[in-house]
Structure 1
């Protein structure tokens, strides 16, 4: 019988500073179905917020699904 030894190694999870986070929004206003208009991927939340303001001015839509994505790295403690 072969013996194996498993060792617990603690890690810290942190946002990867070498990759920029991404922000986006999609309009989910509508009675029968979502509007579906999308902001596209932006590099800063203010860009998405400005897109939402413009879309609301044009359409009076008020409900959005916002998305944030980033990269994470694990490093041993």
Structure 2
């Protein structure tokens, strides 16, 4: 009979500080279909907010899906 030893290995997830996160928004206003206009990706949230205000002023649209994307590293916890 073979015996197996199972061990719990703790892992941790942390933001990868060597990679810059990105911010973006998409207009999801519309009755039947979403507008779909996009802010593009930026390295800070401010340009996205400026774009959303300008899009609101130009179109009257006021509903957006915002995204913050970062990178993560997973490794063994010490």
- What is aligned with 1:53? 53
| Distance in structure 1 (CA, Å) of the matches to 2:8 and 2:70 | 27
What does 1:21-60 align with in structure 2 at a 5 Å threshold? 21-60=21-60
Aligned counterparts, 1:1-12, within 5 A: 2-12=2-12
Following the alignment from structure 2 to structure 1, what is the Cα–Cα distance between the partners of residues 34 and 53?
17
Q: Tell me which stretches of 4 or more aligned residues in structure 1 moved more than 4 Å.
A: none
TM-score (norm 2): 0.86
> Within 2, Cα distance between the matches of 1:22 and 1:2?
51
Structure 1 residue aligned with 2:64: 64
Task: Quote the RMSD (CA, aligned, Å).
Answer: 1.4
The count of corresponding residues between Structure 1 and Structure 2 is: 77
In structure 2, the partner of 1:73 is 73
Structure 1: give runs of 5+ residues left out of the alignment: none
